[in-house]
Structure 1
Amino acid sequence: MLGLLWLTACLSATDRIAMSVAIIPMAEEFQFTDTTKGSISSLLSFGYALVILPAGFLAGQWSPRLRMASGIALWSLATIGTPLTIVSAASSIRPLLIARTLVGAGESILLPTSTRLLNEWTPVNEKSRDSPTTSKEGNDLYSNDNQLSIKDAPWKEIIQSKGAWAIFLAHSAKNWGNFMASAWTLMFYSEQYGIGVRGSAWLSILPCVAGVVGGIVAGTSADANWATNPLSLGLLAWHIPEQAWAAQLYVAVNIGFLCFNSAGYDAANHKKSGPKWAGLLYSVTSLPAVLIGTGATYLTGRILDASGQDWSLVFGLNALIYVLGAISFIILYDSGKEFE
């Protein structure tokens, strides 16, 4: 199961990152402004936000296998159709924006579904549909013993929970930086150092490796290193290095510690809820966080256009958001389970 979830996440990340590479030659060919680039990059997140809440609610009812398959099918078909929309980008970018919105809508199914699978399979004593002890006579659409109504959801308790607010604020801070990095890092290399697509892609390898390492070691050292992430971007905002490799190191440190969220709000979501509401809690805290990340992607383009491509403003604002998110999580979160 872990192997399949990993492969699915890789497929999702590949479809998501592809546009950050393709946007460089597209912008040159069609003379896109930074605001237009931000619009194209942010629509995937907007599509994600449109579907994340119902996807989280259905995570407690429908078969995870069917949900995952439907999500992969939707974002794959939209990705296949994306090159067709690029052909018309010179006259209108609307078809491209629609395609990217559909990719995001399909990908929104991935994380709530993964959350339910991990919540069910990790504890040995958990028994449910599509879990280690699947009933032979059960159908594949949903479990008759696990029918949930939207009225049954603990809406009031989630809204009043300090822990849920802590998860949301930390998720929002992470999304601000993660969405901006995914959409704009290659463009930063291109605009700041005049590096083409291939060179920018090579410079993005080290930050990706740092992210893998950060996610793996997060469990043992996340609490001790939360300040390193905003520090790296603060230094980058204070002085943009003359050499691209030096900027790459700053970005790598940022991405590496950004992935420490696997031991932060990601793990906190599992601690706060049981299998029934794990997907919903993730979606409820994720929806506004995704909208904030979407806004960050678009706002980055507006800032660059208004400031004459002053990347120091972009990285400085990002560092400030990280600090606020970390402080909020430390103050508000407790590990007690609230939503069974």
Structure 2
Amino acid sequence: MALPGCRFIMAVLLSIGLAIIYGLKVNLSVAIVSMVNYTAVNLLQSEELQFANEDFCSIQAVNYTALETNQTDSVTFQDGPFNWSPNVQGIILSSYFWGYLAAMFPGSQIAEIISAKWVFFFAVLVNIIGTLATPISCYTHYTLVYVVRIAEGLGGGVTFPTTHVLLAHWAPPNERSIMASIAFSGTILGTVISNLLSGIIAIEAGWEWVFYIMGALSTIWLLLWVIFVTDKPRDLKFIGQKELDMIESSLGTSGDTKKRQRKVPWKKILESKPFWAILVAHTCSNWGFYMLLLNMPLFMKQVLKFTMAQVSIYAAIPYFIMWLFSLAIGQTLDRLRQHKKITTTTARKIATLIASAPVAICLLILSFVSCQIVAAVILLTASLTAMGAMYSGFMTNHIDIANNYAGTLMGMTNTIATIPGIVGPLFVGMLIDDDPSIKSWSIIFYVTIGFFIIEILVYTLFGKGDEQPWNKPEDDNE
């Protein structure tokens, strides 16, 4: 029996898979707020640092009732069992990216040569197992948490290049932006759900159940993935002939049943300015995205003095709006391209500009008004909303310039772009360990703004949306 819209079913399952990967990645960022014994950690710091933390923001946050809940503990924080310093917390959050970095490029090659479907499947499975094992690793020793997070990172690292391989086989060019937006928006949706559930579960059942419940629920996806996803449309028994013909004719793969191993034109890739534009944009954007993804709950706790309930709610809202915006901008750009209003190059540059310039402006303003809670929340929300456009910008651009090597290109750019995920939390941890006040956070914001400026300049000058000559197998002279 043929199912309608199998390509979109694949995109939705990709989205859910990425939602699981990101949800299981960021749940620790929220849960750690209720896991750490901040009273004990503060006692280990000097009186000077304690005074720095009792700044104007904390006084204003306590007196500001608009965002307070009706609970009696609206400004009282419940300590957790672990005496982890900010540096240890930073290493725990960044250790995921050690594995992520190591798996990126090998994963892209395995996905292209063997099977993107099964690489993605085992990536999610590893993350589920790691999540279920997190509580016992925490109680054993924080070094074991490093190991578990590295293992999860190994699984997570292969998902982006694998997603590109699948989209290159399934997404018609005139639907590429919206299908990529559907797939990659799962990273946002997973963050939204994880932030909300993690906070609620930690409050109602205890932080350990954050990992048990979310890990268990994620197992349902594994069965759906096995049944409804194949590496190529022709291999799926549920797809209708009309849809299959449309996909294959648009991609020029009609009747192609062979899995060909193409020699990667490494020299031409490294000489390609459009490739370097993607790499720079990806790396700079990731610094900003990971800074917000991993550290926004901590910023809300330390500077805005939010409770656990407030952190879970106000850290989730921006990602929900970001999810909606990413889908809207993807569909809008695809329609403009279909009606020949803009070129692919223009579409990618517009999306990338939207995902960077407004974010830099919001962070600059936040450096001056962060003690005004409503303004701070609005600016954080606006920043993350704008970043939703990146999935229709440089994140899809790999497929535009070389669909035959989309997984390889994503593996290359995402490998470098993972470095901010490692360095960022360590950088933040180092600064706030010395001085957890708004002054340190302002430095973090200024550095992030600098990365966005570099992204805007390089991608605007050198980004392209046209297929590159070296994408054709007959041009491989390496």
Same fold by TM (over 0.5)? yes
Q: 1:262 maps to what in 2?
A: 391
Distance, in Å, in 2 between the alignment partners of 1:296 and 1:224 is: 22
Contact 2:87–2:433 (Cα < 8 Å) also in 1: yes
Asked if residue 172 in structure 1 is aligned to residue 283 in structure 2, the reply is yes
1:282 lines up with 2:407 in the alignment:
no
Correspondent of 1:328 among 458, 468, 477? 458
The answer to whether 1:132 aligns with 2:237 is: no
Taking the aligned partners of 1:224 and 1:2, their CA distance within structure 2 comes to: 25
| TM alignment of 1:208-223, pairs within 5 A | 208-219=319-330, 220=333, 222=351
Q: Residue 271 in 1 paired to residue 400 in 2?
A: yes
Indicate conservation of the 8 Å contact 1:179/1:294, yes or no: no
Contact kept in structure 1, 2:303 and 2:371, CA below 8 Å:
no
Identify the residue that residue 364 of structure 2 maps to in structure 1.
234
For the aligned residues, what is the CA RMSD? 2.2
Q: CA deviation at 1:300?
A: 1.3
Query: How many residue pairs were aligned?
Result: 324
Match runs of 1:1-340 below 5 Å: 1-28=10-37, 29-89=81-141, 93-123=142-172, 130-134=231-235, 145-148=258-261, 152-219=263-330, 220=333, 222=351, 225=354, 226-243=356-373, 245-274=374-403, 276-309=404-437, 310-338=440-468, 339-340=471-472
| Displacement after TM superposition at 1:106 (Å) | 0.6
Gap runs ≥5 in structure 2 = 1-9, 38-80, 174-229, 238-255, 334-349, 473-478
Q: CA separation in 1, counterparts of 2:366 and 2:160?
A: 31
| 1:189-232 CA distance string (max 9 Å, x none) | 11112222221011112211221133123344636634211100
Which blocks of at least 5 consecutive residues in structure 1 are unaligned? 137-142
Q: Which amino acid aligns with 2:108?
A: G
Partners of 1:273 and 1:14 in 2: CA distance: 30
Query: Aligned partners of 1:246, 1:135: CA distance in 2, in Å?
Result: 50
Tell me the distance in 2 between the aligned counterparts of 1:307 and 1:328.
34
Amino acid at match of 1:6: S
Runs of 4+ in 1 over 4 A off after TM superposition: none
Which deviates more, 58-67 or 74-83?
58-67
Which whole-Å deviations, capped at 9, do the CAs of 1:27-66 have from their partners, x for residues lacking one?
2232322222111111111111110000111121122221
Q: Is the 8 A contact 1:176 1:296 kept in 2?
A: yes
**Cα distance 1:58–1:212, how it changes in 2: closer, same or farther (>3 A)?**
same
| Identity score, percent | 21
User: Over residues 269-300 of structure 1, what are the superposed CA-to-partner deviations in whole Å (9 max), with x where a residue is unaligned?
Assistant: 111112x3110000011101101332112111
Q: What is the alpha-carbon distance in structure 1 between the residues aligned to residue 435 and residue 458 of structure 2?
A: 30
Partner of 1:139: none
Q: TM-score, normalised by structure 1?
A: 0.89
Cα separation, 2, equivalents of 1:135 and 1:101: 34
Bigger-Rg structure (1/2) = 2
Question: What code does the residue aligned with 1:296 have?
Answer: G
CA gap of 1:334–1:34, structure 2 versus 1, over 3 A, is same
**Contact 1:237–1:314 under 8 Å retained in 2:** no
What SS does the aligned partner of 1:146 have? coil
CA contact (8 A) 2:353 2:456 kept: no
- 1:32 counterpart SS class: coil
Deviation at 1:144?
9.1
CA contact (8 A) 1:119 1:270 kept: yes
Query: Match of 1:140?
Result: none
Deviates most, 175-184 or 300-309: 300-309
Deviating more after overlay: 303-312 vs 73-82: 303-312
Q: Distance in 2 between matches of 1:223 and 1:147?
A: 33
Shift, 1:148, TM fit: 2.9
Relative distance call for 1:223 and 1:315 in structure 2 (3 A) is closer
Matched residue type, 1:153: V
The aligned amino acid for 2:427 is L
**Could you tell me how far apart the structure 2 residues matched to 1:270 and 1:163 are?**
12
C-alpha distance in 2, partners of 1:333/1:224?
11
